[in-house]
A and B are shown apart, each in its own frame.
Chain A
């Protein structure tokens, strides 16, 4: 538990970015096994929005921004530098084997440890759900572990008169939450349009330092996901295709009869 928080204005913001599999580029073996090892990886879209949100607050309130990622491959280095190119001030990579198979609660423990080491933070902001596992649980897990409230699935965030105001659109309606810092917020891809790094910021980001943290130094015992199998999800469909360019009337008629019979 973090005992003391910086009160008053917005001073320190932590963002998390995840190296996710680019599912739009995923290829498969004939057996249905996805080719994960050679899949391209990138920073998730909602993470970019989280970074963008952090930078906007930094620009307005002169806050210090920090980015963290779990994993220390060259791809991880690249996404930290991409965050730098967007304007983040400081970054950490956590060196841990099998970063892809860590349980969400382990990641929560790691973040808790980093917050104790480098915090406190007025705001911890991350993408609501990643492109590859879309579990939406990491933000809330961190909230439980460090004892700070969370608002998840935010598409609009403002900081007015010492209060965060966050809007969430959910299944049953629109919620507006108001809370003083410290707060954890997870953002959707509707939150903003992330800025695109320019050549100048890309070149500048190359020269910035990335700090490395070994998992052992964080006192966290990594719990792995026990993955028994991973296969393409194929639901056999009839796959009957009617081409309207051949005979529009007939196709409309077919569709009409189909709907009438099924309804």
Chain B
């Protein structure tokens, strides 16, 4: 077991850090406050090669690994602790990987280079208003007609709605819709590259709305209605009725990156805490750090964060073995438990750090002068849901430990 990052990974992390210090750190508060990542920053990130990292150069990708993508997500979140920029990044890295794996060649060459350049957005559209965790229960339909698909339905709590409209080339989603008979359960879902804005025009039948969120505000969240939205069959991802499985693969990759992002934010919070407890003095000039209640807690928080970090990079390592190295020793489903573990631990470890940090700050933390709340709300969103609810993670792990017959969900 080698617990060191490779020379490439170290150098890559340095380069991402340098980029973030220059272009993201000075603007992160504004990004969160205004609720927008400026388009010029997205373009710059594309130029720096921060999107499509694990996609091969053949399709305009960077020829890197999922571990490197996790490193990028972590560093970006360290410099934008609200995690909005890191989430924008991980979406445009994780879901394109599924596009590369299962889409039509022409479509890959059409979509991926634009995502790489930061000119188009690519995200995930799975959740519907009656359920996010319950994927098999989706109601959006796709009906085949004359070699094309007609989609009807509604998706909600989807990231990137505004960005797609603002970016010159637009973009779209890895979308899942019901295509088969209801009795087949989750074997009747098909995945599509739903490109909603292309060549500067919003395609007919896509009606978006945008929500106002309490945190992680830099990246937009919203929903859309599909009204007889037509796409050619070549935009279908993989085989008909196999969409559920591809979706689960995509979630596995995305969850690793989400965990990495929350860890980056948690590291920032921990660094703020360390500085604060050294300098803040109370009760006759004693620094906070000299109170055991504080220093003990700090140690525990660090321990939780380190543990979550190791779980995350272990999952990333395994994901690389499967998806990048294509090592036959491991299968896609081997990723389920390692991913569930890191996705369960990382946001929880991080939000705990923020809670303690804000308690140590005291009343200051409750004012907007203090920016800790932005990280708290941003990482908290990943304990609520988003890319996999925490309790679903627990079901996945429990099922593996005691067996399906005991754990119905």
Q: Which of B7, B19, B48 contacts A78 (CB 8 A)?
A: B7
Residues of chain B lying within 8 A (CB to CB) of residue A199: 12, 15, 49, 53, 62-64, 68
Write out, one digit per residue, whether chain B residues 47-63 have a CB within 8 A of any chain A CB (1) or not (0): 01100010001000011
The complex places the Cα of A81 from the Cα of B11 at a distance, in Å, of 10
B256-291 CB contacts (< 8 Å) to partner A: none
Distance between B275 CB and nearest chain A CB, rounded to angstroms: 14
B64-95 CB contacts (< 8 Å) to partner A: 64, 68
Closest to B10 in A: A78
The complex places the Cα of A199 from the Cα of B64 at a distance, in Å, of 7
* A206 and B15 contact, CB distance less than 8 A: no
Interface range on chain B: under 10, 10 to 19, 20 to 34, or 35 or more? 10 to 19
Residues of chain B lying within 8 A (CB to CB) of residue A196: 15, 18-19, 22, 48
* A198 and B49 contact, CB distance less than 8 A: yes
The complex places the Cα of A7 from the Cα of B63 at a distance, in Å, of 42
Q: Which of B12, B19, B22, B57 contacts A202 (CB 8 A)?
A: B12
Closest to A42 in B: B14
Closest to B64 in A: A199
Residues of chain B lying within 8 A (CB to CB) of residue A197: 11, 15
**From DSSP, what is the main secondary structure of chain B's interface residues?**
helix
Closest to B285 in A: A241
The complex places the Cα of A18 from the Cα of B361 at a distance, in Å, of 41
Tell me, yes or no, whether A193 is within 8 Å of chain B by CB. yes
The complex places the Cα of A198 from the Cα of B72 at a distance, in Å, of 12
Q: Which of B7, B18, B19, B63 contacts A200 (CB 8 A)?
A: B63
The complex places the Cα of A193 from the Cα of B8 at a distance, in Å, of 23
* A203 and B48 contact, CB distance less than 8 A: no
Which of A193, A199, A202, A203 has most chain B Cβ within 10 Å? A199
* B49 and A206 contact, CB distance less than 8 A: no
A/B pair count, beta carbons within 8 Å: 38
Write out, one digit per residue, whether chain B residues 7-38 have a CB within 8 A of any chain A CB (1) or not (0): 11001100100110010000000000000000
Tell me, yes or no, whether A82 is within 8 Å of chain B by CB. yes
Write out, one digit per residue, whether chain A residues 61-86 have a CB within 8 A of any chain B CB (1) or not (0): 00000000000000000100110010
* A203 and B19 contact, CB distance less than 8 A: no
A189-218 CB contacts (< 8 Å) to partner B: 193, 196-200, 202-203, 206
* B8 and A198 contact, CB distance less than 8 A: no
* A198 and B48 contact, CB distance less than 8 A: yes
A38-54 CB contacts (< 8 Å) to partner B: none
Q: Which of A78, A193, A203, A206 contacts B63 (CB 8 A)?
A: A203
Residues of chain A lying within 8 A (CB to CB) of residue B64: 199, 203
The complex places the Cα of A200 from the Cα of B8 at a distance, in Å, of 11
Residues of chain A lying within 8 A (CB to CB) of residue B18: 196
The complex places the Cα of A85 from the Cα of B18 at a distance, in Å, of 14
Closest to A48 in B: B18
The complex places the Cα of A78 from the Cα of B12 at a distance, in Å, of 12
The complex places the Cα of A64 from the Cα of B64 at a distance, in Å, of 29
Closest to B47 in A: A198
Residues of chain A lying within 8 A (CB to CB) of residue B19: 196
* B11 and A82 contact, CB distance less than 8 A: yes
Distance between B9 CB and nearest chain A CB, rounded to angstroms: 10
The complex places the Cα of A206 from the Cα of B8 at a distance, in Å, of 8
* B15 and A202 contact, CB distance less than 8 A: yes
The complex places the Cα of A185 from the Cα of B48 at a distance, in Å, of 29
The complex places the Cα of A81 from the Cα of B57 at a distance, in Å, of 21
* B15 and A78 contact, CB distance less than 8 A: no
The complex places the Cα of A22 from the Cα of B303 at a distance, in Å, of 27
Distance between B159 CB and nearest chain A CB, rounded to angstroms: 24
Using A196-B15, A197-B15, A199-B12 as known contacts, list a sample of 14 further A-B pairs with CB atoms less than 8 Å apart, ordered by residue number in A.
A78-B7, A81-B11, A196-B19, A196-B22, A196-B48, A198-B49, A199-B15, A199-B64, A200-B63, A202-B8, A202-B11, A203-B63, A203-B64, A206-B8
Footprint of B on A, CB under 8 Å?
A: 78, 81-82, 85, 193, 196-200, 202-203, 206
28 contacts across the A-B interface (CB closer than 8 A): A78-B7, A81-B11, A82-B11, A193-B22, A196-B15, A196-B18, A196-B19, A196-B22, A196-B48, A197-B11, A197-B15, A198-B15, A198-B49, A198-B62, A199-B15, A199-B62, A199-B63, A199-B64, A199-B68, A200-B49, A200-B62, A200-B63, A202-B8, A202-B11, A202-B12, A203-B8, A203-B64, A206-B7
Footprint of A on B, CB under 8 Å?
A: 7-8, 11-12, 15, 18-19, 22, 48-49, 53, 57, 62-64, 68
